[in-house]
């Protein structure tokens, strides 16, 4: 949807769509965490899309995107990752509720597999597409490298193949390792803090669209339980390792992949995405198509029309070619 329409259409069409079509789903993980999500099944059983969201994100952030996909005729399934959104937190206690934490990065993959097995596969759709954004893109890559029979294709939006850790990445790596060794793994990573209630729109918001940013901020204001702050020391350490694993094992992906790279990304590094593409194409020539959206910030799926529109066109074309 275009921004000129979105301002009025959000409350007029998208919010009622969610109220009428969203089917809440939930399940217990093996370590007793409650994972919560939403399903939007179509009457037809052609293609099911599963969304693996980014760090800090809840499904409430994806209302416009899911609405657009549903109008295209796709069933959509999304669940909040453990430790964020409306799923249970990994760390106990209200004081640590806003720390983005995970004990083992592979837990994200295991949870996604359970979600797919329990709620997606039984619906009987003919085709399955996995869309992963940022951290969710890394999770999606690891999933495809581990379970190569579940999906027919994948779209990775700004995938976290390699974190950008500022001007002194080697110092940052060392600092994270030291803090983890000293038992600070469950504390905020250096420079991180809780959800910023007073944040205003700026070039640090990872999108050029003030409208979409404001809508999402209002969603979190209306649903404070979904708010999350910065990552923990351990999360950063595990995320670095996960990105390395995703890159090194890219050849294990056996389905076509569209990788959307944000040209002005400051959250993840393009070098990791290039390595992922090259390793996948070396193992399976032509399987990974990388499209750079020049000028786009990290949040491609909630970017301004100039960038989001290009991304959506790439996604539509990709699905038309690989999910007929």
- pLDDT for 262 beyond 50: yes
Tokens found for residue 16: 């009622």
Specify whether the backbone of 65 is left (phi greater than 0), alpha (psi in -120 to 50) or beta: alpha
Contact 318, 153 (CB under 8 A): yes
- pLDDT for 295 beyond 60: yes
Domains assigned to the chain: 3-322 (3.40.50.1820)
Question: How many percent of the chain have pLDDT more than 70?
Answer: 96
Put the strands of the sheet holding 75-79 in their side by side order. 23-28, 34-40, 75-79, 47-52, 127-133, 153-157, 257-262, 288-293
The whole-angstrom separation of Cα 156 and Cα 315 is: 10
- pLDDT for 200 beyond 50: yes
What pLDDT band is residue 191 in, cutting at 50, 70 and 90?
Answer: confident
Contact 59, 25 (CB under 8 A): no
Going 55 to 60 to 64 to 69, the CA torsion angle's sign is positive
Contact 75, 66 (CB under 8 A): no
Cα–Cα separations (whole angstroms), residue 109 to 29, 79, 136, 166: 12, 12, 10, 27
- The 10s digit of each residue's pLDDT in 76-130 is 999 999 999 999 999 999 999 999 999 999 999 999 999 999 999 999 999 999 9
Q: How far apart are the first and last CA of the chain?
A: 23
Structural element, H or E, at residue 130? strand 127-133
User: How much is the mean pLDDT over the chain?
Assistant: 95
What integer pLDDT is reported at residue 168 of this predicted model? 43
Neighbours of 135 (CB within 10 A): 31
Strand partners of residue 79:
37
What integer pLDDT is reported at residue 177 of this predicted model? 72
Contact 304, 60 (CB under 8 A): no
- The 10s digit of each residue's pLDDT in 42-77 is 999 999 999 999 999 999 999 999 999 999 999 999
Cα–Cα separations (whole angstroms), residue 45 to 75, 115, 129: 8, 18, 13
More confident residue, 275 or 177: 275
């Amino acid at each position: 949807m275009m921004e000129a329409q979105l301002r009025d259409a959000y409350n007029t069409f998208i919010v009622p769509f969610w109220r009428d079509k969203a089917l809440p789903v939930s399940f217990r993980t093996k370590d007793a965490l409650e994972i919560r999500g939403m399903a939007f099944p179509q009457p037809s059983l052609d293609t099911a899309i599963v969304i693996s969201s980014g760090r800090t994100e809840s499904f409430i952030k994806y209302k416009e995107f899911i609405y657009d996909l549903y109008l295209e005729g796709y069933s959509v399934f999304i669940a909040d990752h453990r430790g964020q959104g409306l799923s249970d937190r990994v760390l106990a206690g209200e004081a640590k509720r806003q720390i983005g934490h995970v004990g083992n990065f592979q837990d994200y993959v295991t949870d996604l597999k359970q979600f797919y097995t329990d709620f997606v596969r039984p619906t009987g759709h003919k085709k399955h597409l996995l869309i992963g954004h940022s951290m969710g893109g890394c999770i999606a890559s690891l999933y495809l490298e581990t379970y190569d029979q579940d999906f027919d294709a994948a779209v990775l939006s700004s995938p976290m193949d390699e974190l950008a850790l500022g001007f002194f990445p080697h110092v940052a790596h060392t600092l994270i390792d030291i803090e983890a060794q000293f038992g600070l793994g469950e504390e905020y990573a250096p420079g991180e803090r809780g959800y910023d209630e007073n944040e205003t729109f700026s070039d640090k918001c990872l999108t050029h669209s003030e409208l979409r940013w404001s809508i999402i901020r209002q969603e979190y204001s209306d649903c404070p339980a979904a708010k999350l702050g910065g990552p923990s020391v351990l999360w950063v350490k595990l995320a670095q390792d996960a990105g390395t694993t995703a890159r090194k094992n890219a050849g294990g992906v056996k389905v076509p992949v569209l990788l959307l790279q944000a040209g002005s990304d400051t959250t993840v590094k393009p070098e990791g995405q290039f390595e992922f593409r090259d390793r996948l194409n070396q193992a399976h020539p032509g399987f990974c198509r990388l499209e750079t959206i020049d000028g786009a910030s990290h949040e491609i799926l909630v970017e301004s029309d100039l960038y989001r529109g290009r991304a959506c066109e790439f996604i539509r074309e990709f699905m038309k070619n690989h999910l007929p």
